[in-house]
Structure 1
Amino acid sequence: MSNVIPNPTSPLSPSAGPPALSREDMAWVENTRDAMSVEAQIAQLFVLSARHDSAEENEGLLAHAPGGIHRFPTHDLDAAWAATRHAIERSDVPLILSGDIEGGTVSYPFTTAIPNQMGIAACDDLDLSADLAAIVGRESRALGYNWSFTPVVDINRAFRNAVVGTRSYGSDPDRILAQARAYVRALQAQGVAACAKHWPGDGMDDRDQHLVTSVNDMDMAEWRATFGRIFGTLVDDGVMTIMSAHIALPAYIREKLPQSGAQAFAPASVSRLLNEELLRGELGFQGLIVSDATVMGGLTSWMDRAEAVPAVIENGCDVFLFSRDPAEDMALMLKGLREGRLSERRLNEAVTRFLSLKAKLGLHRMTLDERIAPLDRVRDGLRQPDHLETATRAAAGSLTLVKDRAALLPIDPQQHRRVVVISDEGTSFFSGAPDRDFTPLRSALEGRGFHVRSFDADAMPTPDDTDLILYLIGQEATPSLSHIFLDFTKLHAGPRNAMIQFNREIPTLLVSFGQPYYLYDAPNFATYINAYASLPAVQAALVERLVGDAPFTGVSPVDAFCGKEQLTW
């Protein structure tokens, strides 16, 4: 007789949702849940964030007995290892460790740096994508992670959107789905739960849900053919978790409630209709739903905190992500339960699902060394030669030549010896992201005989002293920027200088190490390259292609011309 019992809430389709638990694992879930006080069950729903790897921070987080800790990248492997091991060891109920392990510059410096999702999509090689996901899984597991809030399955349609961009696989739903399927399968095969985000789909609105409640304005026929198909297929493939975002889908709400008014624009994170009827009912998802960060403006501008805290769980999310004041938010959750704004049914379901995820990952059976090995073994598992070789191949394969109307390329030190670099420093919302540094690119050019100098607003470049102007620009997708654009005021050191353009007098090359749409702000620039991220391996591979030692093979995952004919000329 089989020792596997079905989840009592599983759908009719056996392929929908993650696999059922064994009798022993289900018993562990139920016994652990039932032994908890109400306060402990509420604490179990919280995933709190860690940014510093300090003992003080660790103790402060563990004092709340949360269900999980979300670790942002830091720069010291010894400290990261010690903090992670300490947190696991101190938790009575197995602690889940999550991260936004998206690639690009948002990664630990002691791990294998891979391109961001758009860079991976530009390689247009699903086998390579799966290999990269397996590297992420292996190295993340070595560092103690069990859950990655990836892949991003948003459709990058609103080209001014600052937060989707390079975090997405592009604008083609078919490409997005193929990449996401490869990623989820490879990551979960390494024992790390994947999380498809951002439900019900970002990228239609050029606003950022970190700042406002943004809107997916698709009608339901288009939504079902695109986002519905993407999420639904991943559900059938067994994606273990989905992130419910602070994004509205008014067409679905009005399909159910034609007179809904302002409620049509409720964020999914507090929408029972979107989470329970559309995601669970129509798509059949039975895995875990995690809210997006509850400190974001898309939620805090919609609903006051006392309402929002219990509403997140009551309306279908199983995990409450982040808190500026965990003790206060846990008290608000308990108050909501006592006042009937959070039902016992939903509390029970949410705790059961979170414990079930931990059981599916086998956390309750693992020893401390199985969760995170001794430091020397962890170090040995990172940046292995085959990992670095695969990442280097992806960095080179991502580089995309968008246009070269002036036949500028390849450049050579005879014709283009005197190079002026105009660069921006970039920025990142994400804790642990490194400062951008173009030293690898400059050094590689100088090593090939080019004379490189930085732009000086007091000595503007002229055709008499400059053979090539090289713009090194580009912001990787990051929260809270509102919009992206090519800021000539900053690049040229002043608003009057911003009006000066050199491209008709001096050969000019524009390279984006981030978002793929900067040609919109420089339509008359004749040569433009998308590199997607400023990783050192990307910079080294770019120089090889600039001088003609290797071809550009990247395939643009988006329309880099933004639908504007002007940009093509």
Structure 2
Amino acid sequence: MQPEDLMRAPFHLDQEALDWVVATWDGLDPLQQAAQLFTLNSRGPVDAAERARLAALQPGGITRFFGTDGEAERSALDALQEDAAIPMLVSADLEGSRMSLPFGTPVPNPLALAAADDEALTREVSRIMAAEARAIGVNWSFTPVLDINAAPRSAIVATRGYGSDPAKIARHALAQLTEFEAAGLAATVKHWPGEGYDDRDQHLVTTINPLSMEDWHASFGKLYGDAIRAGARAVMSAHIALPAYRPDAPDAERYLPATISRALNEDLLRGELGFNGIIVSDASEMAGLTSVLAPLEAKIEILRAGCDMVLFSSDPETEIAAVRDAVASGRIPAERFRAAGLRVLGLKASLGLHRSRKAPETPAPEGRATITERAFAAAPTLVKDRDATLPLDPARHRRILVLSPGIVEPMGNEQIPFALPQMLREAGFEVTEAPYGTPLDITGQDLVLYLFGEETLLTRSRIFLDWRALHGHFKTAMARPWTALPTVMISFGYPYYLYDAPRVPTYINAYSTHEAMQRAVCEALLGRAPFAGTNPVDPFAGAPDARL
């Protein structure tokens, strides 16, 4: 790589910016240069200790895990940028729903937007997300997701992607990408070289993309190629193997995660697809990588294999120094190290950070609540209503028994109660919420309502119906209330529960657990609004009896 390459897409640097990049890199000592290749996480209050930690490390960027006070977060990021000798990249996973800014406008997740399937609406939602992120100091988003939801048992793709149809994924992901980029928020497409055909979780194991190269080029290859041409400034290289790319190589090489595969990063992504932007690793301490290499070794191999930036470190002082030493010994070639550093600084310059590092005064789009309300209302999908149970009516279904494990928060796995039961009470129903884990008893009820709130869950190998826990006993685990009472099952997340409950007569997918989505579903249950969504995946998960 030559510095002048930064004047081409996707950086488009002018001479002033390019001069800043080169002079800045050349002015750093080797340890400072190594630190620029790390994005560290920042959690909790940004107090004096956190400011001192990051000021001493001087990383290239941080991923901030935000609290609920947006003004406090903006002030904290401004302070951290002031402390930085070189302006930092500030990244976040802007995936919508509960994987987004906790103080921002509630927005649907990608699967809900795919169910609504309105590209203009996806653009409007993306503009809201970008404006709110930029206003607090975020300049880099680890989205959009290009994964293909092909393996129904995958707990990790589930609601994070735009479904199973590559054409639909392209429409919505590229709409988000272009809106983010237009707002001055660097977009990252992930998870390279493509997730969704392995039902395991790369947080726990190296996952495998099993496609032939012909099929890969027709699907993931086209998606990444389109994203590159649309101006994506970053690609996240993940702990996913693509063994078909080097069919004659030893298995140990064919099944390397992309994060440490020079073939996938340098030959396929840069060489064949022509990507000139920055390659950032996925979180480097996920077991999809650390089951292959020890964490310190993994950091070195990430950079050797063509990634420009390492995401996260539990021991940054040691690992940054180890990268410096690997360059000094020649293990990381000097030209590879310099190319990575120039691209990191090139991304910063392309965001204008060499001129100003302060969060911009970004006006929030007008009518945000109206836009997002429209987006939530467009997503709920009635998959089947075999016995014409809907709409719900207090005259027919006055006494409702709710069975639910509650909403599972994606990162911390905390339990959050549903608001929908209270909404139904306000509509004239008598609602009984059975404590989770108590034996099933439908005596005196007119309808049974199952509510599930498991969006994409990280480090959960499987999402499935645990009938014994849900019904509270070995014997009642085998009972099915719909042979006696009208029964409705609603998923506000994972869309494949019909695989475990194929004969449930009424099933609805609502994709997102936010209260706004619960309210939209309530309106549709009562017949006040249509179920406007269409299936972005096969909700029957290939089970023929699920259609009955």
- Residue 331 of structure 1 deviates from its aligned partner by 1.9
Give the stretch that moved more between structures: 325-334 or 244-253.
325-334
Structure 1 equivalent of residue 169 of structure 2: 176
Out of 432, 439, 446, the position equivalent to 1:453 is 432
Confirm whether residue 411 of structure 1 aligns to residue 401 of structure 2: no
Structure 1 equivalent of residue 534 of structure 2: 555
Structure 1 equivalent of residue 519 of structure 2: 540
Structure 2 equivalent of residue 443 of structure 1: 422
Out of 353, 367, 375, the position equivalent to 1:363 is 353
Once the two structures are superposed, the pairs formed by residues 518-537 of structure 1 within 5 Å of their partners are: 518-537=497-516
Once the two structures are superposed, the pairs formed by residues 318-357 of structure 1 within 5 Å of their partners are: 318-357=308-347
- Residue 311 of structure 1 deviates from its aligned partner by 0.9
Once the two structures are superposed, the pairs formed by residues 58-457 of structure 1 within 5 Å of their partners are: 58-254=51-247, 258-366=248-356, 368=358, 371=359, 386-430=367-411, 435-439=415-419, 441-455=420-434
Q: Structure 1 residues 19, 68: CA separation in 2 closer, same or farther (over 3 Å shift)? A: closer
Q: Structure 1 residues 217, 459: CA separation in 2 closer, same or farther (over 3 Å shift)? A: closer
- Residue 458 of structure 1 deviates from its aligned partner by 5.8
8 A Cα contact 1:311 1:341, kept in partner: no
8 A Cα contact 2:70 2:136, kept in partner: no
Q: Secondary structure at the match of 1:242?
A: strand
8 A Cα contact 2:203 2:287, kept in partner: yes
* Count of residues in Structure 1 that have an aligned counterpart in Structure 2: 545
Write the distance in 1 (CA, Å) between the matches of 2:100 and 2:479: 37
Give the stretch that moved more between structures: 155-164 or 83-92.
83-92
- Residue 385 of structure 1 deviates from its aligned partner by 5.6
The one-letter code matched in structure 2 to 1:341 is R
Structure 2 equivalent of residue 8 of structure 1: 4
Write the distance in 1 (CA, Å) between the matches of 2:228 and 2:491: 35
Q: Structure 1 residues 543, 150: CA separation in 2 closer, same or farther (over 3 Å shift)? A: same
8 A Cα contact 2:495 2:539, kept in partner: yes
Give the stretch that moved more between structures: 387-396 or 305-314.
305-314
Confirm whether residue 30 of structure 1 aligns to residue 22 of structure 2: yes
Write the distance in 1 (CA, Å) between the matches of 2:504 and 2:461: 25
- Residue 108 of structure 1 deviates from its aligned partner by 3.0
- Residue 305 of structure 1 deviates from its aligned partner by 2.8
Deviation string 1:3-34 (CA, Å, 9 cap, x unpaired) is: xxx963379xx7xx414210000001011111
8 A Cα contact 2:448 2:487, kept in partner: yes
Write the distance in 2 (CA, Å) between the matches of 1:472 and 1:61: 43
Structure 2 equivalent of residue 3 of structure 1: none
Q: Secondary structure at the match of 1:194?
A: strand
Q: Secondary structure at the match of 1:523?
A: coil
- Residue 229 of structure 1 deviates from its aligned partner by 0.2
Deviation string 1:461-487 (CA, Å, 9 cap, x unpaired) is: 33x510111101131012100111111
Write the distance in 2 (CA, Å) between the matches of 1:163 and 1:318: 25
Write the distance in 2 (CA, Å) between the matches of 1:427 and 1:340: 47
Deviation string 1:42-71 (CA, Å, 9 cap, x unpaired) is: 001110011213313343233210010101
Write the distance in 2 (CA, Å) between the matches of 1:396 and 1:436: 22
Out of 463, 467, 472, the position equivalent to 1:484 is 463
8 A Cα contact 1:250 1:264, kept in partner: yes
Write the distance in 2 (CA, Å) between the matches of 1:446 and 1:259: 63
Q: Secondary structure at the match of 2:91?
A: strand
What percentage of aligned pairs have identical amino acids? 43
Write the distance in 2 (CA, Å) between the matches of 1:443 and 1:568: 31
Q: What's the TM-score once normalised by structure 2's chain length?
A: 0.96
8 A Cα contact 1:248 1:264, kept in partner: yes
Write the distance in 2 (CA, Å) between the matches of 1:333 and 1:135: 39
Deviation string 1:140-194 (CA, Å, 9 cap, x unpaired) is: 0011100000011000011111110100000011111111111111111100000
Write the distance in 1 (CA, Å) between the matches of 2:124 and 2:31: 42
Q: Structure 1 residues 311, 265: CA separation in 2 closer, same or farther (over 3 Å shift)? A: same
8 A Cα contact 2:468 2:477, kept in partner: yes
Write the distance in 1 (CA, Å) between the matches of 2:384 and 2:34: 55
Deviation string 1:368-396 (CA, Å, 9 cap, x unpaired) is: 3xx255xxxx8xx56x6611111111111
Q: Secondary structure at the match of 2:5?
A: coil
Write the distance in 1 (CA, Å) between the matches of 2:166 and 2:230: 17
Q: Secondary structure at the match of 1:69?
A: strand
Write the distance in 1 (CA, Å) between the matches of 2:89 and 2:494: 32
RMSD (CA atoms): 1.8
Structure 1 equivalent of residue 12 of structure 2: 20
Write the distance in 2 (CA, Å) between the matches of 1:519 and 1:367: 49
